[in-house]
Amino acid sequence: MPNVLKDPPLRRLVWITLALFLSYLAVAMAMPAVAVHVSHTLRMGNVASGLAVGIAFLSTILSRGWAGRQADERGGKAGAFRGLGLYALAALLCMASVLPWLGGGTAAYAVLLAGRLLLGLGESLVVVGMIAWSMAIMGPGRSGLVMALAGMGMYGAFAAGGPLGLWLLDAAGFAGLMAACVALPALGALMLWPFAPAMPVGGGVRPSFAQVLGRIWQPGVVVGLQGIGFAALGAFFPLYFLARGWDGAGYGLTCFGVGFVLVRLVFGTFPDRFGGVPVALVSLAVEAAGQALLWLAPSAGVAMAGALLTGVGCSMVFPAMGLVAVRRVPEHLRGTAIGGFAAFQDLAYGATGPAAGWIADRLGYASIFLLGAIAALFGLVLALRLRGQGRPAGQEPVGG
């Protein structure tokens, strides 16, 4: 990792990453807690639990193109701040779902789903906005590093947020957890308020979002296949442990996040240096191995090792394939490309929750991780077809 003290743009990037980490805890703390709340408090079943977790990604998917265009035309900071406001509003709406007069049944679940949908819209604006803002600060030659640090902030939040969210759920109830999720994005906004926005990049013709997707769909599908394993782990690891009678249900995302963040700290510059595809190939193989360990785990320790290995494998796929994606479009379309690229991962996250819940009802929780291993292997095969793309900066044009 470059020396932060000697690199002013990198110092700003690190500060943005820290703000992203703190604000993204509002997403991360809720993810396993919502599944447990729906399953154990509302008693709505595994499919309903998966839907409550995954539905946030529906609004994220539908808004990625709009969020990307906002970042391209108005700058990333403006979009990020709108998203942080929506984080807080979403948490307030989820908090309202526990009001006594709703009765704790279907009505409460419907209000919770509405809050989760609003959270997904905020997530789209925050992530696309902050990445586009950071790329404008760092320049196109360090796009891979920008995405690596952004992901480190997000998944570092998942590492801390999993056990913290379940602890708050137990200690303060669902309303107390949501109150914390209101405060965190406000803190992130205060941290970023003094920074000047980066000016949007002028450019030529702006094609439709569908045309941009046509340029980036292959790396997008790879990152989506990678995301299935993480989504399965995030939504069902606690329930998997509870069903087995194992201790440590809240630490699956922690193990995942530790592996994820360590790899990004040590190898975050590898896509820029060696190209995106070689990094993705190794990463997907490691993710498949981690998911297989989770599937076959005879004990809590082996399952934790599988979660750690899954984090190691997932860590560099997004920045590696993202580098391939953004180099397929001109600079003034990179916000739109980031939004479209991330939508493939969102689609995987949103679809995996209810689909994995349906599988768990019929085949047990362990079978969910077999699905994740198979998806990672399919991603590896597709990534093999992209060899020669996403090479180190200076070896290929950033054409239109």
**pLDDT class for 260, splitting at 50, 70, 90?**
confident
Is the dihedral angle over the CA atoms 26, 89, 109, 356 positive or is it negative? negative
Residue 395 lies in a domain: no
Domain CATH for 370 = 1.20.1250.20
Residue 198 lies in a domain: no
The answer to whether residue 50 scores a pLDDT higher than 90 is no
The pLDDT score that the predictor gives to residue 204 is: 61
Average the pLDDT over 17-28 and give the result. 93
pTM of the predicted structure, to 2 decimals: 0.75
The pLDDT score that the predictor gives to residue 388 is: 61
What would the two tokens of residue 234 be?
A: 């995030």
What one-character-per-residue DSSP string does 320-338 give?
HHHHHHHTTS-GGGHHHHH
**pLDDT class for 5, splitting at 50, 70, 90?**
low
Tell me the C-alpha distance between 26 and 339, whole Å. 21
pLDDT digits (tens, 9 = 90+) for 315-354: 999 889 988 888 888 877 878 888 888 888 878 877 887 8
Average the pLDDT over 8-22 and give the result. 89
150 in Cβ contact with 251 (< 8 Å): no
The pLDDT score that the predictor gives to residue 2 is: 54
Residue 35 lies in a domain: yes
Domain that holds residue 21: 4-193+206-384
Residue 165 lies in a domain: yes
* 102-111, 122-131, 297-306, range with the lowest pLDDT: 102-111
The pLDDT score that the predictor gives to residue 400 is: 33
More confident residue, 2 or 174: 174
The backbone torsions φ and ψ at residue 327, rounded to the nearest 5 degrees and listed phi first, read -80, 0
Mapping DSSP onto H, E and C, the string for 196-243 reads CCCCCCCCCCCCCHHHHHHHHHHHHHHHHHHHHHHHHHHHHHHHHHHH
The pLDDT score that the predictor gives to residue 395 is: 42
pLDDT digits (tens, 9 = 90+) for 146-189: 888 887 888 778 778 878 998 999 999 999 999 999 999 999 99
The pLDDT score that the predictor gives to residue 397 is: 37
The 8-class DSSP code of residue 40 comes to I
Q: Please return the burial class of 3, using the count of CB atoms within 10 Å of its CB with bins 0-12, 13-18 and 19+.
A: exposed
> What is the average pLDDT value for the chain, to the nearest integer?
85
pLDDT digits (tens, 9 = 90+) for 92-104: 999 988 887 877 7
pLDDT digits (tens, 9 = 90+) for 344-382: 887 887 788 788 888 988 999 999 999 999 999 999 999
Residue 73 lies in a domain: yes
High-pLDDT (> 90) share of the chain, %: 36
189 in Cβ contact with 84 (< 8 Å): yes
pLDDT digits (tens, 9 = 90+) for 213-229: 888 999 999 999 999 99
What would the two tokens of residue 102 be?
A: 């709703």
More confident residue, 213 or 208: 213
What would the two tokens of residue 349 be?
A: 């996250």
* 3-7, 145-149, 151-155, 386-390, range with the lowest pLDDT: 3-7
Residue 375 lies in a domain: yes
53 in Cβ contact with 235 (< 8 Å): yes
More confident residue, 200 or 247: 247
Residue 391 lies in a domain: no
Residue 21 lies in a domain: yes
Q: Which residue has the tokens 């690199």?
A: 7
Q: How many structural domains does the chain have?
A: 1
